[in-house]
């Protein structure tokens, strides 16, 4: 059984974390498979939107503590090599997600812990079932965060709140996550799949090139001054105007009809 299952239908790539017996806890196989899946999706020009979800009772319960337990029986050098391999794969995944040209949705339920939060934070949008429970969890096993959460969270929810979540490791629910700005929507658990699908269909029908430029502008904005960002906006806008989607969008607006975006 593959630790990651990817299915593509009608322009939507569903990437499913598939270790339900371990609440989708991350081990080396899953880390490598997750990176490979995002590489494949990045290359597939037919994919217009990506959804990341978890199989079974939870999204992801963080790193597999059994894997870390095994490291205690290895030498320090062997331990560092083994753990570095999994972190390298995780960080390569986050970098690939960051540079992806299509929007990414996290659809979460059950437990979202450790790297589960990092993975969710790396997505553009997040929708959560009401019963979802979140925790950074790293401090509970005596380690600092990984997966880019120390980059993403201060930008998403502020430094003080990020310190609180990371240093205390307390659990919080979906409504709190929504109030923090960590997720976009909370829905009844029974509606999660349908609501996620509706959102994915909407994004898959949108202007893909414009979405790619928008993601780039927002993701790089905090590392630019105003003049740099204005220059980037101008360059991105002008590039969008050469696309088929721009021609369709302008024509549809003037014709008072819904645009049919299918360009790249």
| Predicted pLDDT of residue 78 | 64
| Predicted pLDDT of residue 264 | 62
Nearest-5° angle of CA 114, CA 116, CA 118? 80
Residues 4-204: name the CATH superfamily: 2-enoyl-CoA Hydratase; Chain A, domain 1 (3.90.226.10)
Helix-then-strand count for the chain, H and E: 11, 9
Domains in the chain: boundaries: 4-204, 208-255
Of 49, 140, 55, 42, the C-alpha closest to 94 is 42
| Helix-strand-coil split of the chain, %, nearest 5 | 55, 15, 30
| Predicted pLDDT of residue 25 | 95
| Predicted pLDDT of residue 77 | 66
| Sheet-wide strand order for 133-135 | 111-113, 133-135, 172-173
Is residue 60 within 8 A of residue 25, CB to CB? The reply is yes
| Predicted pLDDT of residue 122 | 97
Strand segments (E) across 10-94: 12-17, 49-54
pLDDT by residue for the chain (264 residues), tens only, comes to: 799 999 999 999 999 999 999 999 999 999 999 999 999 999 999 999 999 999 999 999 998 888 888 777 666 666 677 788 999 999 999 999 999 999 999 999 999 999 999 999 999 999 999 999 999 999 999 999 999 999 999 999 999 999 999 999 999 999 999 999 999 999 999 999 999 999 999 999 999 999 999 999 999 998 899 999 999 999 999 999 999 999 999 999 999 999 999 866
| Predicted pLDDT of residue 27 | 93
What is the enclosing helix (H) or strand (E) of 85? helix 76-99
Q: In angstroms, how far is CA 139 from the centroid of its own chain?
A: 22
| Predicted pLDDT of residue 132 | 98
CA distances from residue 153 to 102, 110, 123, 136, 182 in whole angstroms, order as listed: 21, 20, 12, 11, 8
Structure tokens at 181: 């700005």
């Amino acid at each position: 059984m593959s630790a990651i299952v990817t299915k593509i239908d009608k322009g939507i790539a569903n990437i499913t974390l598939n270790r339900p017996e371990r609440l989708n806890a991350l081990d080396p196989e899953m880390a490598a498979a997750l990176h490979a899946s995002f590489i494949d999706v990045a290359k597939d020009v037919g994919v217009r939107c990506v959804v990341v979800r978890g199989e079974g009772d939870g999204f992801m319960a963080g790193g597999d503590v059994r894997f870390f337990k095994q490291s205690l029986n290895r030498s320090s050098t062997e331990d560092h090599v083994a753990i570095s391999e999994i972190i390298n794969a995780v960080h390569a995944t986050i970098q690939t997600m960051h540079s992806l040209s299509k929007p990414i949705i996290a659809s979460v339920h059950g437990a979202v812990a450790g790297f589960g939060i990092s993975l969710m934070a790396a997505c553009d949008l997040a929708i959560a079932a009401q019963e979802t429970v979140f925790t950074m969890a790293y401090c509970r096993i005596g380690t600092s965060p990984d997966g880019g959460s120390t980059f993403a969270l201060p930008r998403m929810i502020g430094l003080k709140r990020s310190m609180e979540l990371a240093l205390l490791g307390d659990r919080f629910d979906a409504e709190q996550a929504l109030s923090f700005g960590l997720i976009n929507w909370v829905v009844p658990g029974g509606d999660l799949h349908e609501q996620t699908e509706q959102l994915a269909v909407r994004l898959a029908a949108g202007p893909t090139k414009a979405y790619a430029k928008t993601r780039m502008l927002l993701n790089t904005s905090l590392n630019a001054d105003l003049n740099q960002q204005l220059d980037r906006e101008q360059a991105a806008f002008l590039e969008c105007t050469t696309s088929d989607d721009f021609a369709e969008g302008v024509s549809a607006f003037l014709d008072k009809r819904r645009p049919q975006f299918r360009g790249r």
